[in-house]
Amino acid sequence: MPRAYEVNFDGLIGPTHNYAGLSYGNIASTSHKGTVSRPKEAALQGLWKMHAVAEHGVKQAVLPPQERPDLSLLRRLGFTGRDTQIVEKAGRDAPHLLAAAYSASSMWAANAASVSPSADTADGRVHFTVANLQANLHRSIEAEATERVLRRIFSDPKHFVIHPPLPATPSFGDEGAANHMRLAAAHGEPGIEVFVYGRDGSPASAKPRKFPARHTREASLAIARRHLLDPRRVLFVQQNPRAIDAGVFHNDVVAVSHERYLICHEESYADQDGFMRRLRQAMKRVSPLPLTIAVVPRADLSLRLAVRSYLFNSQLVHEDTEHRRGLTMIYPSACHSSKRVFMALFSIDPDGEGIGRCMMSVRQSMDNGGGPACLRLRVVLTEKEISRVHPGVTWTPALNTRLETWVEKHYRERLSPRDLRDPRLIREGRDALDELTGILELPRLYPFQQ
């Protein structure tokens, strides 16, 4: 098998990063509703995170933010006039709709798409299915732009297949890679793809009582078919409804995986013991190396603390640098806010050989509902496939410096919900994105540039 790498495509945090509290079921999002955000700080934290992950030996790339406000949404909802008039009317008559149109939530690239590497697919190509994110208005508007940018970055049809979103109906709710895991002996080897869903069509299946289950089994089945996956190497598992009611809106809030390692909370899945048995059996068919699972007991860490700290929204990476070789966990700084979380963090040692740890501060993203793992879309690529990716988005120290300068030039220090009614914010955003497409060598990417 050709050697393959995990490439992290991180979402650049956009200039309209704000706390509108739009994501019901996401406790961090709703609890910070109406507070003042710091867009410049948020974007710089995202860039610092990319830099740090790259220094740990992980290949890194960037996904550009989407244009905001999404005036086409407001026009479809009946607002008319010039751009500034539309914003003025929406801010006066329907501020919640204006907030949705201004949402910078595409920064959480883990929800952009589900991805299957060429080692798993019958046609030997990398398959992407753009997530429809139909559970929330502010996220459902991302799909069209996400598909557009993925087609520009992964444009070679010999190596990449970009599938459009599934039908945006409740039956096919799709939240992307945040509900998808892949386990394998190595990135380039055939693996087991795990699709995690919150609900299915069966009246007998358990359902959450407080918060909605966003992702459906029907969507996961459709994606597996689209990606031409071997049914013997695909597993479907339901989220624990109690976990959803505790604020686990996506699987990556209670589980993190990397190659043959899985770390999760004891209450992650509806039938956790059964899932673990099925997963171990499946891994034996594809891997000469044993599956290593670390389960954090609820007696050591409650679901409430897991959600508050985002411990499991860490990134697992295999370092191969001059400073360290081996497994490293890149975890959010919020894990230091509680002694119990801190103790749980340092008790994790999947194979008993020691694990490195690196703290990462993405506080602005965390307060809006997304930790380190939310900010990146993992794409496993061979060296040849990497050579076919649009080079302008490949992270380098030089690109990082250019992006930091760009952020310093265009982003506001502070943004309150009332500031979304400022007509100057439209022009500021477009000026920033117009310059960004030059930096990333993606001309005419946005509708306003056509």
For the segment 67-93, what is each residue's pLDDT rounded down to a tens digit? Answer: 999 999 999 999 999 999 999 999 999
Q: Kindly list the catalytic residues.
A: 175, 250, 374
What tens digit of pLDDT does each residue of 339-396 get?
999 999 999 988 777 898 999 999 999 999 999 999 999 999 999 999 999 999 999 9
- Give CA–CA dist 321/326, Å, rounded: 9
List, in sequence order, every beta strand (DSSP E) within 314-400: 315-320, 325-332, 356-360, 376-382
Q: Can you give the pLDDT at residue 326?
A: 84
85-110: average pLDDT: 97
pTM for this structure?
0.96
Whole-number mean pLDDT of the chain? 95
Q: At what angle do helices 39-55 and 397-410 cross, to 10 degrees?
A: 170
What tens digit of pLDDT does each residue of 414-444 get?
999 999 999 999 999 999 999 999 999 999 9
278-290: average pLDDT: 92
Strands 325-332, 315-320: pairing is antiparallel
Residue 121 has pLDDT above 70, yes or no: yes
Q: Can you give the pLDDT at residue 322?
A: 65
228-251: average pLDDT: 97
The amino acid at residue 43 is: A
Residue 205 has pLDDT above 90, yes or no: no
Residue 321 has pLDDT above 80, yes or no: no
- Give CA–CA dist 360/176, Å, rounded: 24
Residue 125 has pLDDT above 90, yes or no: yes
User: Which listed CATH number (3.30.300.30, 3.75.10.20, 3.10.129.10, 3.40.50.880) goes with 6-68+103-449?
Assistant: 3.75.10.20
Query: How many Cβ atoms are within 10 Å of 34's Cβ, its own excluded?
Result: 11
